[in-house]
Structure 1
Amino acid sequence: MIVTQQQPNIRHLTLPDLEEYFVAAGDKKFRAKQVYEWIWQKHAHSFEAMTNLSKDLRQKLSEQFTLPALQVDATQYSADGTIKSRFKTHDGHLVEGVLIPTENRQTACVSSQIGCSLSCKFCATGYMDRKRNLSYDEIYDEVVLINQQAERVYNKKLSNIVFMGMGEPLLNYNNVLKAIERIGAEDGLGMSHKRITVSTAGVAKMIKKLGDDKVRFKLALSLHAANDTKRNEIMPINESNNIKALVEALNYFYKNTKNEITFEYILFKNFNDSQKDADELVKIYRQVPADLVNIIEYNPIDAVKFTKPDEETTQHFMQYLEAHKVNAHLRRSRGKDIDAACGQLANKES
C-alpha cells in the first residue's frame, strides 16, 4: 500500500519559502509575492480565487498544497448589536468568535483553542473538552471574518481585538504570537499591536515569557477572586499559579515591556462581592502597575448556580474601589440573549 504524505498548508510557508518553491519549479520568483498577497491580504480561501494566476498554475498549486480556511457555520444577532459567529474548521471542529460594536469601537473577541483544559467553574467553555489548539492561520481567519462582518453590518473596520474567547491563549503561545504578528504585519491586516489584548487565566511562566519576548500588545489577567482560597475554588489553575506567583510574573512582564495590564474580576453574589473582597482586590492592585480593573457582570450558564449580585451591592463594591484610588470600570454584559457574553461561549446550537 502506498501512503501519500499529506499536502502542506501553503499558509505555513514564509515568503522566502514560496520564492524558493517557484524558482525550483522553473517559474518566476514574483509569483510568490502574488500568492502571498492572495493568502494574507486578499484573504483568498481557495486557489481558484487567485485570478491573476494562470488556470494551470492554480491547478498545480491545488495539487501540491492545501489552503484550509475557517468557514462561518452559524451567525446570531443580539438585540444590542453584538454578533456571534460559529466557525467550522477544515477538520469539522466548531469554535466561536464575537463582534462587539460600540459607538467608538468595533471589537473582535476571538478564540485560541477548540474547547479549554482549565475548567474554570464559571465559564461555559471550561466544561468542554479541549480538542486542539487553533493554528495561527485559523486565528487570523477569525479576525478576517469578523472584520468583514463589521464592514458589512456597520460600515466600519475592526478597531480592537481581544483574545477572550474560547481557550487559554498562553497555552497556545506560539500560534497566538504568530497570529498577532500576521495581524500586525503590513502584508497582513496592518493593525497596531497596541489595539490587541491577550487575556489569560494566569500561567505565570508564560506571562514571564511574554516579557522576555518583549511583546507589544496589552495583557489582561482574569483574577475573579483576590485570595488563593477562593480562587482555587473557582479556577483550578490557581493551585499551580497562585496570586503571589502571578503578581511577580506581571511585574516582570511590565518591567520588560511597559505594556498596559488590566485585571478582570467577575462579581459573584455572596462569593467575592463583599467589602473584604474589595479590600483584598485593592491590595493586589497596589502590588502591580495595572492600568485598570474591569468589574464584570456575571453571565449565567447552565452548568452552575452562580448569580450576579444586586445593583446596590455592585455599586458599593465599585465605590469602595474608587475611594481607594483604584481605576475601576464596570463592564456591562453584551450579547447575553445569544450566549455571546463573557464566559458563555460553548458552541450551543442557535
Structure 2
Amino acid sequence: MKTAKKNIRHLTLDELNSYFETLGEKKFRAKQVYEWLWLKQAQQFEAMTNLSKELRVKLADNFSLPALRVDATQYSADGTVKSRFKTHDGHLVEGVLIPTDDRKTACVSSQIGCSLSCKFCATGYMDRKRNLDFDEIYDEVVLINQQSERVYEKKLSNIVFMGMGEPLLNYRNVLKAIERITSPDGLGMSPRRITVSTAGVAKQIKQLGDDGVRFKLALSLHAANDTKRNEIMPINESNNLQALIEALNYFYKKTENEITFEYILFNNFNDSLKDADELIKICRQVPADLVNIIEYNPIDMATFRKPDEKVVNTFMQYLEKNRVNARLRRSRGKDIDAACGQLANKEGIVG
C-alpha cells in the first residue's frame, strides 16, 4: 500500500534543515524552501525557481503541497467579497472580505461545517466534516489579502475568526495559523489586529489565558440569561453564563487582551429592556471593552426576524444611558449571503 506523502508545510524549519542535510544539500536550501512556502506562498514545487529542477522533482516525489484554492467568488453591491474555497480533498468552505473606508477585514473559517447547531446560524445547520489545518487557514488569509490588493489596492488590516465553525474546537490549528500569520517569516500581521470569536467554550477560553495569546477575544453572547441562551445555543447547556464569566475574567487576568461581546437582536426574543438589563449585568461582571449589537440576517432554516428600527434604537439608547460601550453593527454582504450567520456554501456562486 502506497504511503501518503507528508505535507511539506507541516515541517518546521529545523525539520526541513534535517531533510536537506540527509540529501547532502547546503543548509540555506531549507531557508529558501521555507520562504517559498510562507513568504512567497508558492502553491507548487515547480514555482520554486531558485532551486534546481532536480531538487524540485525530488521535493515533489517526497512531499505534498496541498493548497486551498478559490472555487467561486461573489461581489456584493456594498463592496463585500465572498469566496468559496476548495480544499485538496474536495471540501468547500467560505471566507469574506469586508471593506470599509479605514479597514479591510478578512472573515475566515476554522472548520468545514460546525457541530454547535446554533439556531440562528446557517453554518449551524451543516454537519461538521473536519477541522481546517493551520496551513489551510493561512491560505484563506493569503487569498483574501490578494483579493483586497486586487480590488481595493490595499492589504488586509484586520482578521476575524467569525466564519464557519467554532475556532476553539480547532484550538491547535487556529493558534498555529495565527502564529504563522503574525510571524515575520509569515504575513507579519500584528496579533492586536486579529479577533477570535467563540460561541463559548469555557475550558478553552481559560487555555487561551494560560497560553498567553496576544489577540482579541469575542464572545458570541446573543442572550443574557441561561434559559434563552440554551434555547438558541445548545453549547450553553455545558458552558453556562456563570462558567463563561469566570473563564473570561481568567483570560483577562492572564492576558489583559481586549474582550468584546457579540449580541444579535432577535424580534420579541432578546430585544426588550429587561433583556438589556440582563446584558448590562453581565457587562458589569466582565472587563469587556465593547458590545457589538448586530443586525440579524435572515436564513432559510430559521424563523427569527430582526426587530423594528425603533426597538433597536431604544435598546441602544438604554445601553448608552447605563454607560455600556455599545456599537450597532450593520450587516454587510446580505445580498450574497455573506453577512453574519449566513455562510453555508450555497450553490449558484459564480466562478
Aligned to 1:202: 200
Query: Residue in 1 aligned with 2:124?
Result: 126
Which residue in the other structure is 1:5 paired with? 3
Distance in 1 between residues matched to 2:102 and 2:221, nearest whole Å: 27
2:273 to 268, 272, 275: 275
Deviations 1:228-269, CA, capped at 9 Å, x for gaps:
000000000000000000000000000000000000000000
Q: Which residue of structure 2 lines up, in the alignment, with residue 293 of structure 1?
A: 291
Match of 1:323 in 2: 321
2:24: which partner in 1? Answer: 26
Tell me how far 1:103 sits from its aligned partner: 0.3
User: Which residue number in structure 2 is paired with residue 157 of structure 1?
Assistant: 155
Q: How does 1:214-293 map to 2 (within 5 A)?
A: 214-293=212-291
Name the CA distance, whole Å, in 2 between partners of 1:280 and 1:67.
Answer: 50
**Partners of 2:210 and 2:20 in 1: CA distance:** 36
- Aligned residue among 300, 303, 306 for 1:305: 303
**Which residue type is aligned with residue 256 of structure 1?**
K
Counterparts of 2:300 and 2:52, CA distance in 1: 53
Which residue is equivalent to 2:341? 343
SS for the counterpart of 1:57 is helix
Mapped to 2, the partners of 1:27 and 1:174 lie a distance apart of 32
- The code of the aligned residue for 1:332 comes to R
* TM-score (norm: length of structure 1): 0.99
* Counterpart AA for 1:206: Q
The answer for the alignment partner of 1:48 in structure 2 is 46
What's the secondary structure of 1:111's corresponding residue?
A: coil
CA-atom RMSD, angstroms? 0.3
SS in 1 for 2:6: coil
Q: Amino acid of the residue matched to residue 167 of structure 2?
A: P
State the partner residue of 2:143: 145
Q: Note the alpha carbon deviations across 1:91-130, whole angstroms, 9 max, x for none.
A: 0000000000000000000000000000000000000000
What TM-score, normalized to structure 2?
Answer: 0.99
Amino acid at match of 2:74: Q
Supply the distance in 1 between the matched residues of 2:299 and 2:29 (Cα, whole angstroms).
50
Give distance in 2, aligned partners of 1:347 and 1:206.
28
Unmatched runs of 5 consecutive residues or more in structure 2:
none
Write the distance in 2 (CA, Å) between the matches of 1:137 and 1:123. 26
1:334 partner SS? coil
User: How far off is 1:69 after superposition?
Assistant: 0.3
Identity of matched residues, %: 81
Aligned residue for 2:64, secondary structure, equals: coil
Question: Can you give the 5+ residue segments of structure 1 that lack an aligned partner in the other structure?
Answer: none
Deviation track 1:259-302 (CA, whole Å, cap 9, x = no partner) reads 00000000000000000000000000000000000000000000
Map of 1:80 onto structure 2: 78
Alignment-derived partner of residue 15 in structure 2: 17
| Alpha-carbon separation, structure 2, partners of 1:48 and 1:276 | 62
Question: Aligned partners of 1:50, 1:84: CA distance in 2, in Å?
Answer: 30
Write the distance in 1 (CA, Å) between the matches of 2:64 and 2:96.
27
Deviation at 1:30, TM superposition (A): 0.6
SS in 1 for 2:156: coil
What is the Cα deviation at residue 36 of structure 1? 0.2
Could you list the runs of 4 or more consecutive aligned residues of structure 1 that deviate by over 2 angstroms after TM superposition?
A: none
Q: In 1, Cα distance between the equivalents of 2:71 and 2:300?
A: 23
- How many positions carry a matched residue from both structures? 348
Shift of residue 169, structure 1, vs aligned partner: 0.1
> Hey, what does 1:69 align to over in structure 2?
67
CA–CA separation in structure 2 for the residues paired with 1:155 and 1:279: 44
